[in-house]
């Protein structure tokens, strides 16, 4: 397995492409806008003008695109991966998407002789750059094992979750945990600020105790600094939470915390913050936002 096609060269994808090239793989890439990937082209990635050209002679195809509809497009629309990839190729979707779409790609791909895996990742842009992503894999176990050299070039915590779609289910469980944890971080920092505490001291005090978490370590300092640059877009996290709620509803589960956090994020997205990072959830709690909410209450009461 030497020639790899990579579709979805964004914030995460660029670092993953670089790490695959460092591991000795030949990378063929496709992006809608070539100008956005000139940096990785200059580093050795081979650019193609179409998906068909990009995947036609590669041993494996990796996709990490934005939304479920984007996954459907690259696998099933005109000049798609399933129609154009080399016979017997490994098709690995690393997008966080619907488990049902993962099962659909697996069923159709297997029928056509492909080896199909769903392998969403967690670890953000930092993990992508460092090559330390957690990779959550669903599909046939022998295909998982065959792709281990690819996964090891991008991540360090690589686990087989089970049949097709299980990788996506594990990723949604991960996103449910993040939703509750990051909401807790924002509420705690809001409380500490209102009580007149030094937030940097609070961070140092609690981060090594029972309240410590990756979300606190990663986003606490950014929240304090007012840094909302996206390592992971708010709009994409909203998509993930919606997918998790759909799957929970299918099982008759009531996930109240997730529903509340999603509602908070959707309100921020409606206010134009969807392109910010997930840590911008703190804006839901900031003084100006709370003042706006208070101003609306009398009018709502009169209705």
pLDDT confidence of 1, banded at 50, 70, 90?
Answer: confident
Among residues 171, 193, 214, 251, the one annotated as catalytic is 171
Domains and CATH numbers, the chain: 1-162 (3.40.50.720), 167-291 (1.10.1040.10)
pLDDT digits (tens, 9 = 90+) for 169-184: 999 999 999 999 999 9
Active-site annotation holds for 239:
no
pLDDT at 299: 45
Place of tokens 């910010």: 276
- DSSP secondary-structure letter at 96? -
pLDDT, position 78: 87
CA distance 105 to 150: 20
Query: The pTM is what?
Result: 0.91
Q: How far is CA 2 from CA 23, 61, 114, 253, in A?
A: 10, 11, 17, 44
Q: What is the pLDDT of residues 6-52, one digit of tens each?
A: 999 998 999 999 999 999 999 999 998 999 999 999 999 999 999 99
């Amino acid at each position: 397995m030497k020639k790899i096609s990579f579709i979805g060269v964004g914030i995460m994808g660029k670092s993953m492409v670089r790490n695959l090239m460092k591991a000795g793989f030949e990378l063929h890439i496709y992006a809608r806008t070539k100008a956005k990937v000139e940096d990785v082209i200059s580093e050795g990635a081979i650019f193609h003008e179409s998906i068909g050209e990009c995947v036609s002679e590669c041993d494996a195809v990796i996709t990490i695109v934005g939304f479920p509809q984007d996954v459907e497009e690259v696998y099933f629309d005109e000049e798609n991966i399933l129609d154009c990839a080399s016979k017997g190729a490994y098709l690995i979707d690393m997008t966080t998407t619907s488990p049902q779409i993962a099962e659909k790609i697996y069923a159709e791909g297997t029928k056509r002789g492909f080896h199909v895996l769903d392998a969403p990742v967690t670890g953000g842009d930092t993990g992508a750059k460092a090559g330390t992503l957690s990779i959550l894999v669903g599909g046939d176990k022998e295909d998982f094992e065959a792709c281990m050299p690819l996964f090891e070039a991008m991540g360090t915590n690589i686990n087989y979750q089970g049949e097709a779609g299980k990788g996506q289910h594990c990723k949604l469980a991960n996103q449910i945990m993040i939703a509750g944890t990051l909401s807790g971080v924002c509420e705690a920092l809001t409380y500490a600020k209102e009580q007149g505490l030094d937030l940097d001291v609070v961070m140092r005090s609690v981060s090594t105790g029972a309240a410590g978490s990756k979300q606190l370590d990663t986003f606490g300092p950014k929240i304090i600094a007012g840094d909302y640059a996206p390592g992971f877009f708010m709009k994409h996290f909203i998509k993930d939470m919606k997918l998790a709620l759909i799957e929970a509803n299918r099982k008759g589960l009531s996930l109240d915390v997730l529903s509340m956090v999603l509602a908070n994020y959707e309100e921020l997205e409606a206010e134009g913050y969807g392109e910010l990072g997930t840590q911008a959830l703190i804006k839901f709690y900031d003084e100006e936002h709370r003042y706006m909410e208070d101003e609306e209450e009398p009018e709502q009461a009169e209705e």
